[in-house]
Amino acid sequence: MGEFDLIAKYFKRPARDAVLGVGDDCALLLPAPGTHLAVSSDMLVEGRHFLSTVSPERLGHKALAVNLSDLAACGATPRAFTLALALPRVDEAWLAGFAQGLFALADAHGCELVGGDTTQGPLNICITVLGEVPVVDGRSQALLRSGAQVGDDIYVSGTLGDARLALEVFRGNVQVPAAVFEHARRRMEQPSPRVALGVGLRGLASSAIDVSDGFLGDLRHVLQASGVGAQIDIDIAINLLAAPALSTGSNADLMLQISSAQALEWVFAGGDDYELVFTAAPANAHRVAQAARDAKTRITRVGRIEAEPGLRLEGSQGLVQAEKFGSFDHFAPSVK
Ligand code: ADP
Ligand code: MG
């Protein structure tokens, strides 16, 4: 099967919302009046962003999910995406699975594949998403990293550290009950982008970011962009680890295997979570809680924005140094 047959069979579908979709030199989209286009790209490289053991369905899902997560962080409504794909060979079973996982998530979010590029090479997937953010009175409603205000509450959606837990099990460093592993593995391979929450937080949250490189590392980007500091409650944060799986009764089993220091490391710096971290004024707390309920997404208040720069981690056991929880950096000297 050649390049063009491959595109036609697996990635070309009739244009829906787009004026012109896959098949010409460019796609054509009509932006909705009174909106800004939000644009973001994320690349997935085998061995770096995913393990070769992942199923093609889940990989198709994840490739789009990590991009939708960026739109969610900006409060943008997904519209369309492009797919640049390097494939070592034409493997039709793989392509069918990949397309199925990709389109299932795309359809769930009304996000249309409008173009891309296909080439032979080491497996590499790069998606660019396009979303819309309303402009009200000349001002974009996009959630940015720079808006956090002193006194704001800091919230996290969902749970943190699950993907890292799965990775540690894959690496043979910890053992957990099968149900906990399955839950964590699904969180790693099929993250849920918090799109509905991000959209619901427009006009409510003062800042937002999605957690891809680790909670504290990503929060630091918000603090830096906003020129503020933060206090985080350790006792609350540690409960964000794999919470749904643990509430089914396997908590004790899991905690036998994991020290609280390890749990903290995974929550604070695990990465690959694709949750939202956002800030909002205490006066908006009720509306924020309602937005989370409407989005059917759990949120937890984990701290507060303070004027003093830096991060302070406080709990019943005292203070913990924030400096040791770094952010994932592809070009950090320690990363091979
Ligand atoms: P060009 O040579 O003009 O760059 P291509 O031959 O690469 O165009 O692609 C032909 C058409 O197929 C274009 O509309 C392009 O956007 C689309 N396309 C290529 N690869 C993909 C893909 N992986 N997913 C979706 N559309 C694709
Ligand atoms: Mg091309």
CATH number of the domain residue 151 falls in: 3.90.650.10
Ligand 1 proximity of 116 Cβ (cutoff 6 Å): yes
Cα dihedral 122, 127, 61, 217 sign? positive
CA distance 171 to 137: 52
On whether both 94 and 231 belong to a single domain, the answer is no
On whether both 199 and 312 belong to a single domain, the answer is yes
Domain endpoint, select from 111, 137, 163 = 137
Q: Is residue 325 part of a domain?
A: no
Per residue in 101-111, pLDDT tens?
999 999 999 99
How many Cβ atoms from other residues are within 10 Å of residue 46's Cβ? 16
281 alpha carbon – ligand 2 mean position (Å): 47
Output the pLDDT for position 336: 36
On whether both 168 and 234 belong to a single domain, the answer is yes
Output the pLDDT for position 25: 95
What are the DSSP calls for 101-135, one per residue? HHHHHHHHTT-EEEEEEEEESS-EEEEEEEEEEEE
Residue closest by Cα to atom 9 of ligand 1: 117
On whether both 159 and 87 belong to a single domain, the answer is no
Residue 114: give the domain boundaries. Answer: 3-137
Domain endpoint, select from 116, 137, 158 = 137
3-state secondary structure of 24: strand
Residue closest by Cα to atom 13 of ligand 1: 23
Output the pLDDT for position 330: 74
Q: What is the CATH number of the domain that holds 48?
A: 3.30.1330.10
On whether both 176 and 221 belong to a single domain, the answer is yes
Output the pLDDT for position 335: 43
What does pTM read for this prediction? 0.93
Output the pLDDT for position 246: 53
Domain endpoint, select from 102, 119, 137 = 137
On whether both 204 and 108 belong to a single domain, the answer is no
Q: Which two tokens stand for residue 113?
A: 């594949």
Q: Which two tokens stand for residue 257?
A: 């295997």
Output the pLDDT for position 284: 98
Output the pLDDT for position 333: 66
21 alpha carbon – ligand 1 mean position (Å): 10
Output the pLDDT for position 278: 98
On whether both 151 and 279 belong to a single domain, the answer is yes
On whether both 128 and 242 belong to a single domain, the answer is no
On whether both 52 and 110 belong to a single domain, the answer is yes
CA distance 237 to 277: 12
CA distance 106 to 102: 6
On whether both 154 and 246 belong to a single domain, the answer is yes
Pairing of strands 77-87, 112-120: parallel
Q: Which stretches of the chain score pLDDT less than 50?
A: 244-245, 247-248, 250, 256, 335-336
**Total domains in the fold of the chain:** 2
On whether both 170 and 264 belong to a single domain, the answer is yes
Ligand 1 proximity of 81 Cβ (cutoff 6 Å): no
Q: Is residue 159 part of a domain?
A: yes
Query: Ligand 1, closest atom to CA 22?
Result: 14
